[in-house]
């Protein structure tokens, strides 16, 4: 089993990207990643396209993207795992290299959600849970799903609405410093509390937006990476887990069990103890589709004990300079959430942080040379936790 490194990254502006079509949007990220890796398309041996695309006119996005980016006839596939699609795409390319099936692979996550009207997109996302039971019978959409989590957490642990607001304020603070972010405006607690209700206790400013965007990474085996770059970022480990389709089958709404299991897997493979795991990482990107999701992520990753995640937010311990900087690129909340691209965008953010290439005002101090991403599909239907390092992992 071989070590796998990231040798190039690419990222587009997130937001309403109806100025281009799907393949043009993907090429913006792919071109940047290839240039950063200093390689040409003909050196890519395999590429994976992460795209959910229910709202898209393109039924075969991998084929369209591959042709436009001049990647054909290299092998390809389209990957879908709801909101964790980008991380699933990374996993496929990562395993292809790790197993020896390829030496250089490209991952591109791309989504153009504004091809459909917003109400239709909200409905399509809502169908991603237990469609016939929860959506058809009870009308649950994803704000409703995460409102159940927030309500349960507040009732059990005493979290306040203002604690959720702290997450939104932090992520908008850093989003305002990220030129790729969809929302580049800071918000106040007053603005947060006055924002429109979506599904109690969640408000508009608790919610990630509908987003278009693309991100790409180039992966290489250790032998190839050493020939191309003197600053690879290694994928140390990845944990993967899944949850039940129907929330009625889950026993606890105050955390996401699949994410917790994925974290345990990733830590075990990286030889990291779960308790106080945060001490190993310089920075984290976690799945904050809604503010409550970030708070649950703190606990599922072992950054805080059960029922104490909201205290990290309240005490502002996840800002740069705090206990563990989280979502200092703006997160899904402010950077945006183009579903198929989100997991790849996280990988780009962590890689650039570890190489001191983050945007001004968002760069953390790199001491351990390690970062982590946490990407959830649906409400824990899928979960991927990935650990990155500037230090070569032992095999």
- Cβ neighbors of 384 (< 8 A, separation 6 or more) are 81, 84, 87, 88, 90, 91, 238, 239, 240, 262, 343, 373, 374, 375, 377
- Cβ neighbors of 341 (< 8 A, separation 6 or more) are 29, 50, 86, 109, 110, 111, 213, 214, 215
Show which residues are catalytic: 83, 337
Q: Tell me the three state secondary structure of residue 77.
A: strand
How does DSSP assign 308-376, residue by residue? -HHHHHHTTTTSTTSSS-B-TT-HHHHT---GGGHHHHHHHHHHHHHTT-SPTTTPPP-SS-EEEEEEE
CB distance 290 to 161 below 8 Å: no
- Residue 140, CB half-sphere, CA atoms under 13 Å: how many? 24
CA distance 88 to 80: 7
Q: Tell me the three state secondary structure of residue 93.
A: helix
């Amino acid at each position: 089993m071989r070590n796998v490194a990231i040798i190039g990254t690419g990222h587009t502006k997130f937001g309403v990207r109806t100025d281009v079509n799907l393949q043009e949007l993907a090429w913006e990220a792919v071109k940047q990643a290839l240039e950063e890796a200093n390689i040409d398309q003909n050196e890519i041996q395999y590429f994976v396209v992460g795209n959910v695309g229910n709202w898209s006119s393109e039924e075969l996005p991998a084929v369209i993207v591959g042709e436009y980016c001049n990647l054909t006839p290299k092998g390809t596939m389209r990957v879908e795992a709801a909101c964790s699609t980008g991380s699933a795409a990374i996993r496929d390319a990562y395993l292809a290299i790790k197993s020896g099936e390829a030496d250089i692979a490209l991952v591109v996550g791309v989504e153009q959600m504004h091809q459909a009207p917003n109400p239709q997109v909200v409905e399509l996302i809502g169908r991603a849970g237990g469609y016939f039971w929860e959506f058809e019978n009870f009308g649950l959409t994803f704000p409703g799903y995460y409102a159940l989590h927030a309500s349960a957490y507040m009732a059990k642990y005493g979290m306040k609405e203002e604690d959720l607001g702290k997450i939104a304020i932090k992520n908008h603070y850093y989003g305002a410093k990220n030129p790729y972010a969809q929302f580049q405006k800071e918000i106040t607690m007053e603005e947060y509390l006055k924002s429109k209700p979506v599904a109690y206790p969640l408000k508009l400013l608790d919610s990630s937006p509908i987003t278009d965007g693309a991100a790409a990474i180039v992966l290489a085996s250790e032998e190839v990476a050493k020939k191309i770059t003197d600053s690879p970022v290694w994928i140390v480990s990845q944990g993967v887990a899944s949850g039940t389709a129907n929330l009625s089958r889950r026993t606890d709404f105050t955390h996401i069990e699949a994410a917790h299991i994925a974290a345990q897997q990733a830590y075990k493979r990286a030889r990291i103890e779960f308790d106080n795991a945060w001490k190993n990482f310089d920075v984290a990107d976690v799945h904050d589709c809604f503010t409550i999701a970030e708070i649950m992520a703190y606990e599922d990753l072992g950054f805080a004990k059960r029922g104490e995640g909201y205290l990290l937010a309240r005490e502002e311990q996840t800002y740069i300079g705090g206990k563990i900087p989280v979502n200092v690129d703006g997160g899904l909340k402010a950077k945006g959430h183009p579903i198929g691209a989100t997991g790849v965008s996280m990988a780009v953010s962590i890689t650039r942080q570890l190489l001191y290439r983050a945007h001004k005002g968002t760069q953390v101090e790199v001491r351990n040379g390690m970062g982590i991403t946490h990407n959830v599909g649906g409400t824990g239907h899928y979960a991927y936790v990935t650990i990155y390092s500037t230090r070569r992992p032992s095999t």
